[in-house]
Each structure stands twice: as structure tokens, then as C-alpha cells.
Structure 1
Amino acid sequence: MSLMDSAREVREVAYAPYSKFKVGAAVRGASGAIYRGCNVENVAYPEGTCAEAGAIAAMVAAGETELVEVAVIADSPSPVPPCGGCRQKLAEFGKGDTPVLLGTVAGQTMETTIQELLPGRFDADHMRNAE
């Protein structure tokens, strides 16, 4: 199963009763394993969880801390990029050149990278002088 197929499959179980906007995400860890996440809404909107965050949490829970590929899918007219918070989360666990494939349920795709999604990213190098 491809990474996008995995994201497509998990999208179907997203919990989105308020927005009706289901999103699925899959990340491939450095080991080659695939971790999936879907958006989980809450009636108190800020308390929901994005699909990308769920996939990253599954990866970390499995003991991995490096992702090497990302796929995100939604039912939208064009591929939907991750929100700003998820871009930073992806940057925490992936390198700038990590490929990110964005897709629609109709089959449209867009290829990008973490660097293109989040130029000027804040990373651990900025924390070097913190004591």
C-alpha cells in the first residue's frame, strides 16, 4: 500500500461531525514503517487534533523520532497543505528536503517538501545558547 493510499484509508475514519472535513495523513518513519492519523474534532474547536499530529504521535509512540516521507489527503477542490502548527510539527521530525505529497480524494496531487511548506523554520539550532 502506498503512503497516500494509507492516508486515504485512515481519512475514512476521521471524526469530523462539525466541519464534515475529513483529513487523513500518513508518515513513513526512518525504519520504513507507516504511521497514520486522522483529524479528530471536538465541539470546543481549539481542542481538536489534526491528522498530521495524529500520525506523528503514532510514530513517536512506536519509538521513532524521524520521518522521511509525508502524505496528506482531503476532499477538497485542490490539495490541502498542513496548517501552520502541523508544518512546525513536521519540521520537528523531518528534514527540510523531506517529501510531502498532498492529495485530494479525486486524485489531484501536489508534491512539495517540508522546507517549501515552512521556510525559515524554527529548529533546535535556535536553542543552542539556551541554558
Structure 2
Amino acid sequence: MAEPTQDQIDELVAVAIAVRGMAYAPFSKFYVGAAILDNEGRVFSGVNVENSSYGLTICAERTAAGTAITAGAKEFVAVAVATPGAAAPCGACRQFLYEFGPRCTVLLVDSETGAVKHTATLDEFLPSGFRLSS
């Protein structure tokens, strides 16, 4: 899998920060934006969407992944996640993304400063993840 270029990283960070304000987070007030780069160079975005039935809440990473998959994406190269303080994806999101790119670069972005605070591959975030496809 190709590494994302600096221009692609800059675009992912900008998109994740830009969409973050569209999140629906009336309960937690924790707004998250995500942007995914697929192996064809396309960028897909998503935000967290909370629900009064808390278990139905969906994270920004999975919203972006669903959009990417709907558009035909099958392999993820990188994902930027923008939150206050640069929080890491939850375990469910790590596993969900793993299906489409175990070596995907994960960029944790502080939405307040725009700085990438941490970068690692998805398989570093989720050692021994599993998927049916190879």
C-alpha cells in the first residue's frame, strides 16, 4: 500500500477539521470529523451522529467509511480524525477500518490547533485485528 503524500495528508486534515462542525452531538458536545483517503486518491468525509438511544450513535470514522464504501472504495490508505485534543478512534472504529486497510495511516488531529499530534498505522492501533479478505 502506498504511503499518503504530504499534499494528501494536508487535504485529509483540512477536510476532517472542516466537516467536524457538521457533527450531531447534542449529548456529549464532542464533535468529531473524519476524512478517509482510498487507494484511488479519493477523499470521503464523515462526522459523528449521536442518538437519544445511545447505542445507535455512530462515530465519524464509520460514517466516512460507509460513504467511501458506498462510492465503491475497497482499500483505505489513510484516515484523519479531528477532535479536541486529538483523540484516537474507538475499538469498534479500529476494527471497522481494519477490514479495508490494516496498514492504513491514522492521523490524530487536534481540531483546535490543526496539528497532527500522532501518526501510526491502523495495525499499530489494533494489533492482531482480523478480517476475512487478505
The TM-score normalised by the length of structure 1 is 0.88
In the TM superposition, structure 1's runs of 4+ consecutive aligned residues that sit over 2 Å from their partners are: none
- What does the per-residue CA deviation read over 1:45-93, in whole Å, with 9 as the maximum and x for residues that have no partner? 1101100000000001111111111100112xx3211000000011000
Structure 2 match to 1:113: 121
Report matched runs for 1:1-131 at 5 Å: 2-75=11-84, 78-96=85-103, 98-107=104-113, 108=115, 109-124=117-132
* Structure 2: distance between partners of 1:7 and 1:106: 12
Shift of 1:120: 0.7
- Once the two structures are TM-superposed, the CA of residue 125 in structure 1 deviates from its matched residue by 6.3
Percent identity between the aligned chains? 41
TM-score when normalising by structure 2:
0.86
Q: In the aligned structure 2, how far is the partner of 1:18 from the partner of 1:55?
A: 21
Please tell me the residue identity of whatever aligns with 1:100.
V
Unmatched runs of 5 consecutive residues or more in structure 2: 1-9
1:103 alignment partner AA: V
In the alignment, residue 94 of structure 2 is paired with which amino acid?
Answer: R
- After TM superposition, the structure 1 stretch with the greater mean CA deviation from structure 2, 2-11 or 104-113, is 104-113
Q: Helix, strand or coil: the match of 2:22?
A: coil
Q: Give the structure 1 partner of residue 6 of structure 2.
A: none
Which residue of structure 1 lines up, in the alignment, with residue 7 of structure 2?
Answer: none
Give the total of aligned pairs: 123
